[in-house]
């Protein structure tokens, strides 16, 4: 079975491409190496994880003709569409780039997938589509478009295009709402990645706002969930939360980090615009549909991430 992973040199994309390859799929990756975070880091993570065994096409999915051409040549059975601009704060300064990379590029992929005869598209959405709901388990049907950042608005819009194109082309469509994914090679702009880099450099860390919590999800659990969803096939157009199902407060995260970095020093800063206060996934739907079962406890996942960072982030 032929599978393409867009955003294949990104954090989740590299892990996913590597795992799919190990499982015997014929995998190709596409990435444009957008400078949102350093291309050099993406090169390193892609090669470290895939061992150079996954072919990588470098082009921009905003180029609809190039996208169609590539898809008509490779003719994937399955499309994991992960390519996007991911940052919430960056989206406040560059909202139109999110209409480009999170919506227009998605429409190009959805069209090219349909015309190349793909049978299943799996799309990387985000827990940010729930907006700022407070500390309650978030169920899939609760998203109603009342979001709090341009990034989240773009992801919510992209989900709508996914529904529409699944209807138009008749492929199966699975959308995943990830909840703060972390682990080795984790995104350098997120809290855990930023904290580890600063701690290893002997610097203080900056904590925005107070009383925040996140449903941190370990990368291996996410990848296992995505592949389980692929293997089960799935319906016409379905949305699933992929979280750990248990929120971790900033205090708990800092307490865990202190076990590894006893000298940790904090600078308190005001809440960041566009941030949500808390996320907490209800993962019942994914459990029932494809046996999704996150099984890396937060302390264990963080310990593995710290060990990785000590080796790679110096
Ligand atoms: C940077 C960013 O956009 N990250 C993503 C992240 O946001 P999400 O906000 O969930 O995760 P982050 O790791 O970026 O931040 C977690 C918490 O840590 C705080 N914090 C962060 C960095 C720092 O140096 N200090 C600090 O205190 C944040 O204000 C937040 O309260 O999850 C969303 C939903 O899954 C994704 O869609 C987003 O792509």
Q: Is the CB of 37 under 6 A from ligand 1?
A: no
Give phi and psi for 81, each to the nearest 5.
Answer: -100, 100
| Confidence (pLDDT) at 147 | 97
Q: Is 28 left (phi over 0), alpha (psi -120 to 50) or beta?
A: beta
Ligand 1 pocket test, pick from 214, 245, 253 with the greatest ligand atom count within 8 Å of Cβ, gives 214
* pLDDT tier at 135, thresholds 50, 70, 90: confident
Give the mean pLDDT of 278-300: 97
Domain coordinates in residue numbering, the chain: 2-312
Query: Which tokens go with 7?
Result: 């955003």
130 is catalytic: no
Ligand 1 pocket test, pick from 10, 191, 205 with the greatest ligand atom count within 8 Å of Cβ, gives 191
Residue range 194-210, pLDDT digits in tens: 999 999 999 999 999 99
Query: Which tokens go with 196?
Result: 């580890």
CA of 167 to the centre of ligand 1 (A): 33
77, 25 Cβ separation under 8 angstroms? no
Ligand 1 pocket test, pick from 275, 276, 278, 281 with the greatest ligand atom count within 8 Å of Cβ, gives 275
Give the mean pLDDT of 277-297: 97
pLDDT above 90: residue 129: yes
Q: Please state, in angstroms and rounded to a whole number, the distance separating the CA atoms of residues 114 and 29.
A: 18
Residue range 238-257, pLDDT digits in tens: 999 999 999 999 999 999 99
Q: In which element (H, E) is residue 123 found?
A: strand 120-126
pLDDT above 80: residue 179: yes
- Ligand 1 atom 25: the closest Cα is on which residue? 207
Locate the ligand 1 atom nearest the alpha carbon of residue 155 and give its number. 37
Give the mean pLDDT of 25-39: 96
For 3-30, letters b (16+ CB in 10 Å) and e give bbbbbbbbbbbbbbbbbbbeeebebbbb
ipTM: 0.94
Angle at 307 between CA 228 and CA 25, to 5 degrees: 25
Q: In which element (H, E) is residue 26 found?
A: strand 26-30
H helices present in the chain, as ranges:
11-22, 39-50, 64-74, 88-93, 95-98, 105-115, 150-169, 191-200, 219-232, 250-260, 284-290, 298-312
Mean pLDDT of the chain: 97
Q: Is the CB of 148 under 6 A from ligand 1?
A: no
Q: Please state, in angstroms and rounded to a whole number, the distance separating the CA atoms of residues 224 and 286.
A: 12
Angle at 13 between CA 222 and CA 33, to 5 degrees: 150
CA of 1 to the centre of ligand 1 (A): 35
> Cα-Cα-Cα-Cα dihedral of 259, 261, 265, 270, to 10°?
-70
SS (H, E, C) 87-98: CHHHHHHCHHHH
| Confidence (pLDDT) at 236 | 84
Q: What CATH number does the domain located at 2-312 have?
A: 3.40.50.720
The one catalytic residue among 25, 98, 101, 151? 151
């Amino acid at each position: 079975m032929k599978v393409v992973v867009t955003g294949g040199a990104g954090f989740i994309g590299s892990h996913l491409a590597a795992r799919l390859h190990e499982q015997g799929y014929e995998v190709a990756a596409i990435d444009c190496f957008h400078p949102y975070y350093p291309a050099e880091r993406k090169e390193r993570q892609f090669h470290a994880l895939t061992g150079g065994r996954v072919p990588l096409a470098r082009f921009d999915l905003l180029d609809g003709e190039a996208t169609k051409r590539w898809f008509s040549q490779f003719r994937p059975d399955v499309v994991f569409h992960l390519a996007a601009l991911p940052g919430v704060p960056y989206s406040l300064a560059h909202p139109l780039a999110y209409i480009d990379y999170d919506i227009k590029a998605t429409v190009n992929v959805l069209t090219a997938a349909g015309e190349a005869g793909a049978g299943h598209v799996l799309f990387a959405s985000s827990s940010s589509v729930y907006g700022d709901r407070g500390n309650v388990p978030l169920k899939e049907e609760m998203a109603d478009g009342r979001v709090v950042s341009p990034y989240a608005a773009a992801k919510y819009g992209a989900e709508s295009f996914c529904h529409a194109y699944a209807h138009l082309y008749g492929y199966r469509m699975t959308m995943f709402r990830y909840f703060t994914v972390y682990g080795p090679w984790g995104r350098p702009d997120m809290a855990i990645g930023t904290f580890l880099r600063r701690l290893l450099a002997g610097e203080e860390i900056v904590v925005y706002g107070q009383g925040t919590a996140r449903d941190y999800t370990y990368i291996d659990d996410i990848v296992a969930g995505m592949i389980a969803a692929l293997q089960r096939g799935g319906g016409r157009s379905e949305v699933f939360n992929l979280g750990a199902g248990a929120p971790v407060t900033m205090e708990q995260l800092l307490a865990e980090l202190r076990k590894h970095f006893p000298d940790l020093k904090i600078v308190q800063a005001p809440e960041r615009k566009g941030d949500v206060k808390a996320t907490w996934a209800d993962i019942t739907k994914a459990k029932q549909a494809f046996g999704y079962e996150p099984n890396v406890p937060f302390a264990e996942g963080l310990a593995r991430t710290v060990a990785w960072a000590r080796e790679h982030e110096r």
